[in-house]
């Protein structure tokens, strides 16, 4: 308002105060106080779009405008812009302000595997999306290291996926944007008090024992549309038989119980640490492979993780 009426001194003072309250990370610049809520005006995306236009019109701080747009785009990577109004304002801020963060031109990117240039298909019009798959016989050792050379100024992101077969007990934990830890505990009762004893070493248990599976997740950002799948050993039987919605520690999700394991469908997972647990009985004896737990954002598949594998001996 002050800028439109010519009172630039007061307008610049307000903008300077706004910038003092920003937070800047590797994902861009934003305001921590702009939080989502039930009220129509509690929408961080709308606020961010408004701030981009304010800084673009009233200042020459191109870096601040670029960082705010970077944050807005990073939000779109893992979350849904909640309303048509927020989406419209965000797209307007990205396209109509001076420092354009989105380009309709083909991205100027080259991919090098060793000294060889990887030939990729043409980018999708408008989004710049590129996808390329290679069969096993087309892979080589030099493709284990990929260098990316980008010459234009618009932000881009991507991921490389490798699929291969490996015995479950040799699988090691791995994560990108998400950290996962899966542990198995023996459930014992002493003086009517439940005690959890970690299953260590080679994982030797007796048939009929009750075990507790505890999965700990830590994510460095807010995620939407998340699928967590946990596979059990063939000789385990889950104590719960009914699927349904669950709520714990501020997290709402749908738990689907199957013979081979448990699925957790999470619509929204905020940044932080979460724990999932359920009990199983060792029904069959033998040398068993404990299934690995995997988690992936269906909205942004590059954010995923899996636990390590384990061998378990169930004695008769």
pLDDT of residue 219: 93
Superfamily of domain 168-315 in CATH is Alpha-macroglobulin, receptor-binding domain (2.60.40.690)
Per-residue pLDDT of the chain (316 residues; tens, 9 = 90+): 555 556 677 877 888 888 888 888 888 898 887 777 676 667 888 888 989 988 888 888 888 888 999 898 888 888 888 788 888 988 888 887 765 666 656 667 777 877 777 777 777 776 777 788 888 887 777 777 788 887 777 777 777 777 778 887 788 888 888 999 999 999 988 888 888 988 876 778 889 899 999 999 999 888 999 999 998 888 898 998 899 999 988 899 999 998 888 999 999 998 899 999 999 999 888 888 888 999 999 888 889 999 988 888 888 8
pLDDT for 4 equals 56
Sketch the domain layout of the chain as residue ranges. Answer: 8-96, 109-150, 168-315
Task: Render the burial of 93-125: b for 16+ CB within 10 Å, e for the rest.
Answer: bbeebebebebeeebebebebeeeeeeeeeeee
The 10 Å Cβ neighbour count of residue 132 is 9
Q: Residue 201: its pLDDT value, please?
A: 64
What does the DSSP assignment read for 18-49? HHHTEEEETTEEEETT----SSTT--HHHHHH
Residue 227's pLDDT is 96
Token match 């106080």: residue? Answer: 33
* CA distances to 222, 248, 265, 269, 301 from 254, in Å: 18, 11, 5, 13, 20
pLDDT for 178 equals 92
- 187, two tokens: 């459930």
């Amino acid at each position: 308002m002050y800028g439109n009426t010519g009172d630039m001194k007061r307008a610049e003072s307000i903008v300077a105060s706004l910038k003092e309250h920003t937070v800047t990370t590797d994902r861009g610049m934003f305001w921590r106080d702009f939080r989502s809520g039930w009220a129509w005006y509690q929408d961080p995306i709308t606020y961010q779009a408004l701030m981009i236009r304010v800084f673009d019109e009233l200042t020459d701080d191109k870096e601040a405008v670029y960082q705010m747009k970077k944050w807005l785009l990073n939000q779109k990577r893992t979350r849904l812009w909640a309303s048509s109004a927020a989406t419209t304002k965000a797209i307007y801020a990205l396209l109509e302000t001076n420092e354009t963060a989105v380009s309709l031109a083909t991205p100027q990117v080259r991919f090098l595997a060793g000294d060889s240039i990887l030939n990729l298909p043409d980018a999708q019009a408008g989004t710049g999306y590129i996808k390329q798959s290679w069969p096993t016989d087309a892979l080589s050792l030099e493709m284990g290291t990929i260098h990316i050379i980008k010459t234009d100024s618009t932000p881009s992101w991507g991921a490389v996926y490798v699929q291969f077969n490996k015995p479950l007990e040799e699988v090691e934990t791995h994560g990108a944007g998400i950290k996962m830890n899966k542990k198995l505990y023996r459930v014992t009762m002493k003086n009517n008090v439940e005690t959890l004893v970690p299953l260590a070493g080679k994982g030797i248990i007796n048939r009929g024992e009750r075990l507790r599976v505890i999965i700990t997740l830590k994510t460095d950002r807010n995620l939407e549309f998340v699928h967590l799948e946990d596979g059990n050993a063939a000789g385990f039987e889950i104590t719960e038989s009914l699927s349904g919605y669950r709520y714990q520690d501020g997290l709402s999700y749908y738990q689907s119980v199957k013979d081979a394991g448990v699925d957790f469908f999470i619509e929204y997972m905020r940044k932080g640490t979460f724990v999932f647990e359920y009990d199983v009985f060792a029904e069959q004896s033998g040398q068993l492979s404990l299934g690995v737990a995997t988690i992936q954002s269906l909205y942004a598949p590059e954010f995923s993780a899996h636990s390590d594998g384990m061998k378990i001996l169930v004695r008769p």
